[in-house]
Structure formats: structure tokens, C-alpha cells
Amino acid sequence: MTSPLLETWTTPFGLAPFDRIKDDHFAPAFEEALTAHRAEIDAIATNPARPDFDNTVGALEAAGQGLDQVLSVFFTVAGADSTPAREDLQRAFSPRLAAHSAEITGNKALFARIAELWARRDDLGLTSEQARVLMLTHRGFVRAGAALTGADDARMAQIKSRLAVLGTQFTQNLLADERAWTLPLSDRDLAGLPDFLVAAARAAGKEKGADGPVITLSRSLITPFLQFSARRQLRETAWRAYVARGANGGETDNRAIAAEILALRAERAALLGYDSFATYKLETEMAGNPQAVRDLLRAVWTPARARAEADAAVLERMMHADGINGDLEPWDWQFYAARRRQAEHDLDEATLKPYLALDRMIEAAFACANRLFRLEFRALDVPLYHPDCRAWEVTRDGQHIAVFIGDYLARGSKRSGAWCSAMRSQAKWPETRSPVVINVCNFASGDPVLLSYDDARTLFHEFGHALHQMLSDVTYPSISGTSVARDFVELPSQLYEHWLEVPEVLAEFATHAETGAPMPRDMLDRLLGAATFDMGFQTVEYVASALVDLDFHDGPPPTDPMTRQTEVLAELGMPRAIAMRHATPHFAHIFAGDGYSSGYYSYMWSEVMDADAFAAFEEAGGAFDPERAGALEQFILSTGGSRDPAELYTAFRGRLPGVDALLKGRGLAA
């Protein structure tokens, strides 16, 4: 009997039939799809016809759709609704997929066809998009080691396989640590905590099977607990557990894994002739080289550290006024910063959150997309992989554009963080297909679900990625949607955050969850006026992580990453009361896979552009200026990786940006 994973789905919009897919379908479907893809690759490589674009590069673009279909479902549920069975499968699949990828890029007959096309590229009569796809394909094969031979070729395959195993292990260790730890709260411990946090803690306790409320290592619980709990000892306990993820000894400890990953990456770069992994990795990004990244981060670090040190002095005085002597500690910062924010801006999360209900913020994100791009959203009643998920059909002028899925609530089976992925990417080759896009977040449960302002920004951020996928309008799947340089991919997401700050958006959608009353105008003004509050802290914790990431990969790999992390922070003069946003043992951005390795800086590189890009709207007709919105779609959101990102940004803005708009936006300008 055919597995539902391998069928041509006749469901509404061709969605995965989640109600029929079981865990025991994955392994046999994976084997069958992998075998089929291998046969497709072999047919392309051994085609007796002279290579042309369609029979080689185009054929590669069309191959593997069955495998993509299986894996799109598997990796969606493995990340957002993990089970022991799915974790076992992930450990089994990852090295197999790495070996399969190495087998493709190591296929000498296939690479010979691609190399011949590359040599004849000026005589092939290619469209600009085809020329771009050929360039990216040839470059990708070369950077994957296709030109290596003999022992070097074999060693590259071994490295890739081992890295796949280690990345999966790193992720699963982190999830295991997050799942295992709880902090039970007595009635005494609940004193002073706002109702939304108590409700979220009770919901977490119920999910964990505890007798009462608990704090877990979900950021949506840890952050408000550190802001509101007057019990300093409990704050310290929670903070230490959060930063110790992946460094607790035993089977889930990630420190040795991180060291091995860094060593293997350096060896991989050396095999390809690069001085360091950072040099290799950044060659294809907008930054181009490690020094350009370091220059940007250092330019931001200096004013951010000065602001953070000044803020630390204020917070420490507040702590001393409470009768607590000694130094301000990391578990004190958010508690006193929240009190300072309330004193200076008359804002606190308990008062603010009822105006930021999840459903209203989803409506706000949709409404902005409607005003900017004429998109309409209609709720769908379709089977999905978890009861928390929701789905919408996205249309424009009555025409189907995409399906959007939202999975917003934290749970023990979901890895931490927030992300956007395409279960099906937009393409017109080998046939036209519309995208199926998913946003996954980790907001604390509640009835209703209430968001912090940072949560609301996260929702808009991930929806910006979703728009990049949904509005994609290219021919070939490999350049669709977010398939762009890593330091360009965050531009649409970070740019979309700006629309949350538009006063008329909050005035319409920031309504009280119980009364429906709009946020009072003076509260709205105070909220927007506090936009850069505590920005020294936020910038320092981020830039420190980015500089550690860069240091790890720019030069010989450290034998002990933890020691090197300590040295880098000391060299920077890291404020003692601020920790890295992501310490090495739980730095999944750079150790769960290669995506953000040497590339954690990319959020800030993109922020330089997003600050400048939103200024283009403000300089024109305002946040919803139709001409600017049209240019944004034409040159950024619809183009995927079909053109060079610097060329695309220049087409949108008329020039490349400088760092000034970023510093101004963060309140760090001199």
C-alpha cells in the first residue's frame, strides 16, 4: 500500500494529510524517496545527450520532489512536536542525508556536465534567472568539494556525515535539558507575580504533570519570571538553569560536541583551500569577509557597551536602595530594568500584556499585509500536526497565493525559539506550485494568550519571513523565497517589525483582552517612547554572541571553546551583569547546523538595511506608502535569490545603507 507521504496529495491546496500520517510511515517513505532521488541523479549524470541547461541544471531543480515532500513533513514535526520515535528517526536520517548530499556533489560525471555548462555559459542563451541558477549551482558544487579527488574527497564526505550527526545531537541534547528542568512554585513564591505569569506557570505545571505551577526553561516563562519575581534566590536559580542548558554534564552535555564541530569545520575549509571557516563561509554573503563583519560589530559594540555600563550603575543603585549590597548580578538586571521602565515610562508588562492578545496581534500582522500588498487571509479547517496549529488561505484579488500555518504556543515537545519554514516553496519549474509556509513560536499559554511587546515583535518578525516565502515569484525552486544570502534573509523579517511600531496599527489592534477597549493614547505614547529602553543590554548580549561566533570560526579552532569564550568576553570588556544571549553549549544558531555559523552577525547586518528601508517609507508617503510597498515586493520579496542582494537593495533604495540609521534606531547614536 502506498504511504500517504509518497502520494500525490489531493487534499485542499495539496496540504500534507496529517490525519493519515503516522510515525512508522517515515522510515519506509524516506528509503523509497531517497532511492528514487538517487536514480534521478544518476539519470542526469549519465544522460548521453550533450549538457544543456534543461537536461542538467533544470533537471536537478526538478529532481527530488518526493524526498522533499517526505522531509518537509518530517522536519516540521521533528522540530515543533518532537517524540522519542521522531528523535530516533532524526538521528538516523541526518547522516544518511549528509551522505546523500555528498554523493550528489561528489558525482564526477554530474559535476563534469555542470562545469561544461559553466565554461560555455556565455553561449547558452540563458535568461538572467537561468544564468544566476547556473552560477549558484556551479559555485555550490565547488564549495561542497566537487573538485576534490582521492583522499581529500573521501575525507570531505566523512566530515559532512559527522557534522550532521553532531548537529542533530546538539539540538536534541538542548531539547532534553529544556524538557527536564522545572522550578516548582509554592503559593509564597507566587506573591507579586502578575496574573498572566501565574496562569502560564499553572499551564506549564499541568503539561508537566506537576501538582502546581512551575517555571520551565521556555523563554516565554523565564523572562517574565526574572522581571517580576521579588525572590532573588529563585531568580538566580532560574537564571543559572537557563544559561546552563547544554552544560550540565552527562549524556546531554554539548561542550565536547561544540569543540568537535569547530575542528571539523576548520578542516573542511582547509580542504577547500581557505584560511579559516569564516573566510569560506562569508565569501558568498553580503559581508564578503570576516573583517567587514568585525568592523560592523565593533562600531556598534563601543556605544552599546557604554550605554549598558551607564544603565548598570543606575540599576545597581536601585538594588542598593532595596538594602541588597554587592554587585548587580545577571539575575538582577531584568528585575530592576522592569522597575526602572515602570518608573520612567509608567509601563509594566502586567498592565501592557492585556492589550497584546495573540489573536489581535495576528490580525494586526494580516492587516498590515493587506494594506501593503492587498493580501487577504481566510481561516481553513484542515488537519494539521498539532491541535495548537491554525491555517489560513492567502489570496490577492481573488487569486490563491499561499497557505499560511501558525503554531504559536510553547510546549515541551517543541524546540525553543521561533522560526519560519516552507513546507512547499513557490516555483514554476517543473510545474507551477504555490507555497505552504509555517511560523513556529513559543508563546506562553493562557486564556486568552497574552503577549509581551517582545513576543509581538517576534510574531511580526517571523511573519516578515513568511511574506518573503508567500510573495516569491521565481521559476526555479533553489532560488525561491528565503533562499538568499544569510545576511540578507533577515531584512524582510526585521523590516516587518517596524509596522508593529506604527501608532495607527497599535491604536486599532492593541485592544484589551477582556473589555475590548483600545490601548489608552497615553499608554501607547509611553510604549512607543520606550522603544529604545534597555537597548544597551539588548545590543551587548547580542553583539557579544556574534563576536564569539566570529572568533570561533576566524582562525584555528579552539581546543576548548568555553575557555576561548571567556577570553573573548574579557577582551571585549563584557559588563559583568550581562551574559551572552547564547552561550556556546546552547548556541543552536551556530551548532545545530551550518546556517548561522560565522553568521550570527547577519541580524545586525540586515538591521542596517531594515532601518534604512523603513526610512524610505517615512520619507515617502508614510508607513503604507503604496509606491514603496510595490518596490519592496518587486525588488525584495518576490525575487528570492534570483539576483545579487546588494543589487536588489540598491534597486529598492537607490543606494546601499550606512550604519547611522541602525545606531539611531537603537538610540545609540552620539
Catalytic residues: 462
d(C-alpha 535, C-alpha 222), whole Å: 19
d(C-alpha 494, C-alpha 499), whole Å: 10
Query: Helix axis angle, 65-80 relative to 84-105, nearest 10°?
Result: 140
Cell of 566: 571567556
CB 388 within 8 A of CB 409: yes
Round to whole Å and give the CA distance between 356 and 272.
Answer: 50
In the structure grid, which three cell numbers stand for residue 23, read together?
A: 510515525
Distance spanning both ends of the chain, measured CA to CA: 68
As a whole number of angstroms, the distance between CA 577 and CA 548 comes to 18
Backbone φ and ψ of 217, nearest 5°:
-90, 15
Closest CA to 129 of 649, 478, 468, 422: 478
Contact assessment for residue 71 and residue 29, using Cβ atoms and an 8 Å cutoff: no
DSSP string covering 127-138: -HHHHHHHHHHH
CA-CA-CA-CA dihedral for 593, 595, 599, 601, to nearest 10: -100
Cell of 394: 492567502
Inter-residue contact 561 to 262 (CB < 8 Å): yes
How far apart (Å, rounded) are the C-alpha atoms in residues 475 and 477? 7
How many angstroms separate the CA atoms of 535 and 651, rounded?
31
Fill in the amino acid letter for 634. Q
Answer for the pair 509, 459: CB distance below 8 angstroms, yes or no. Answer: no
In degrees, rounded to 5, the angle at the alpha carbon of residue 210 between the alpha carbons of residues 208 and 211 is 155
Here the cell at position 392 is 489560513
Rg (CA), the chain: 25
Q: What is the spatial distance between Cα 315 and Cα 337, in angstroms, rounded to a whole number?
A: 7
What is the Cα–Cα distance from 635 to 652, expressed in whole angstroms?
A: 6
Angle between helices 23-45 and 65-80 (to 10 degrees): 140
Helix then strand then coil, in percent of the chain rounded to 5, is 60, 5, 30
Asked if residues 347 and 454 have their Cβ atoms less than 8 Å apart, the reply is no
CA angle 404, 492, 79 (to 5 degrees): 50
d(CA 548, CA 264) in angstroms, rounded, equals 18
CB 196 within 8 A of CB 420: no
Q: Which region, left, alpha or beta, applies to residue 150 given φ > 0 means left and ψ of -120 to 50 means alpha? A: left
C-alpha–C-alpha distance, residues 79 and 459, integer Å: 18
